[in-house]
Structure 1
């Protein structure tokens, strides 16, 4: 069984070699590796061409910088296999990941197979943590309504089913046909809502408890992202759309979950303002914009939000108290500052 591995590439630096080698050295050798260069400026383009010259299984494609959504799409379009898996260009995979995926797909007609993941810092020598969420307590098959009820609802309530595209293998036709929910996203949310749509159209999914994917911590989530809030509210819009279309029997529960997630993401977005070089006045202006957003105001009066959050926060939402959110964002930033410094130091340890 041939498997297509798509790697979107944008300035991964020295980590890129380990990623590619972990794919080309798989025990399952019937594969094609599609390296899609999204306008890298760090020398990755030359590495991609070098890999393609040395190994016939490597396809190289170069384009201008457009972001992850069109870059992954190009990789899917170039894929010649029935099944596609994604690897981020600074991560790596277990030597038998593709073999294990292939064996599962040969045993049954799965639309998606999901493996567990290690979260690592540097090379994983100091920090290597597996996902201990209940979805990975055992190998399990989900079919039909189980997928909608037990898996997709995780994306409304923050349950520990992984939202990332990596660590999964998909039928290529599902990836090509179901990407309508991705419209409007720029930097965050494309994984979650791509998965949401694909899983809604899947008939059979296998979840494996074994961790086969190594995900490096300390990426874009620890950087200031100017468009983060726009993606957050777009995600809320999509959740509402899906809830109304597919969950009429539990609509209020799903809307409660998406509203709680929106307010939690508001806190995270405010914290993210402190990761850049914005002045206090600029941060306050941004917070004021956030609090006046119609979806934040809508979530403020949601039943779930009223039950879930402490009175002080709910009052700050109702009164659009930007000073309150500035204080909690600043406090969280100070708490996390040392952690980020340590993560960056570990991340700079030379790779093998």
Structure 2
């Protein structure tokens, strides 16, 4: 174990044997060397745990923790509980990073005295790579909190965060969250007027199309209930803040849009289940106005017709819905 590492990189690992090597290798070749990697084997049934142990034997900067499967949120918290770095950042096992990421983020964080340093990132889908600008409008904690429900990504993977903040403000990753756990945690931190900085470079490569076990690839009635739970949790978290209305709009949109894409409800079921979120959803600032119009029609009883139309549009124009 490296003594007094400046940065702790937390990697939750589950069914990742196909791409874990690329992720960890990209971390081990960092130009900045004073860091530790915490690989959290979340009860993975494949060879992921063995691969983690293999790295720990080769490099003293790698620490491995094997735990019973508890989901990504519990894995992130396990990493946080065992981290010793001054700053923490997360990396998902199907993604990878640029070699100068930790060096440039750490230097900027020290220069600015930031509690949270935000950077841009890449989205990699197949052969395409998209640059995603994450510059906040204003470096104010409430403004950034609001923008996490608008155009900023809620991920922990493009944010270097001072580890002490979690303890000072008693912030933990939420239990039983299978997604949006990072958004919830970042909002919890930002409620406490922490100091924010931004660096206008992208270092993290977020892969959209490799992990077939990802929550976004499957959907059931349980996922619908889960999204309803998210609305309640986030509403409570943001109650009394300036971003409460944005939060409710965003989470209502999430409920309806995920149900739309899943295609598991009849038109009547969709209206009964999603119609109650229609009013709040319509306040959501969505660039795809055609899609918003489709969601609106679906909520009032035309789901199957509208969904069939969108499937045709998707095939012809190869658009994502």
TM over 0.5: yes
Q: TM-score range by the shorter chain?
A: 0.7 to 0.9
The residue that corresponds to 2:177 in the other structure is 186
Of 262, 266, 269, the match for 2:255: 266
The residue that corresponds to 2:305 in the other structure is 327
SS of alignment partner, residue 239 of structure 2: helix
Of 94, 98, 102, the match for 1:94: 98
The residue that corresponds to 1:205 in the other structure is 196
Of 291, 295, 300, the match for 2:272: 291
SS of alignment partner, residue 240 of structure 2: helix
The residue that corresponds to 1:240 in the other structure is 235
Match runs of 1:136-155 below 5 Å: 142=139, 146-148=140-142, 150-155=143-148
- The 3 A distance-change label for structure 1 pair 221 and 331 is farther
After TM superposition, the score normalised by the length of structure 2 is 0.82
Question: Partners in 1 of 2:260 and 2:316 — Cα distance?
Answer: 15
Q: Which runs of 5+ in 1 are unaligned?
A: 275-281, 343-352
Paired residues, what number? 306
Question: Partners in 2 of 1:17 and 1:303 — Cα distance?
Answer: 41
Match runs of 1:115-154 below 5 Å: 115-122=119-126, 126-132=127-133, 135=136, 142=139, 146-148=140-142, 150-154=143-147
Question: Partners in 1 of 2:254 and 2:120 — Cα distance?
Answer: 25
Deviation at 1:40?
1.4
Q: Which runs of 5+ in 2 are unaligned?
A: none
Greater helix fraction, Structure 1 or Structure 2: 1
The residue that corresponds to 2:226 in the other structure is 231
After TM superposition, the score normalised by the length of structure 1 is 0.76
Deviation at 1:121?
2.6
Cα deviation digits, residues 183-232 of structure 1 (max 9, x gap): 5x532221211111112224211111100111101243651133332332
Q: Is the 8 A contact 2:77 2:173 kept in 1?
A: no
- The 3 A distance-change label for structure 1 pair 224 and 338 is farther
- The 3 A distance-change label for structure 1 pair 303 and 264 is closer
- The 3 A distance-change label for structure 1 pair 7 and 178 is same
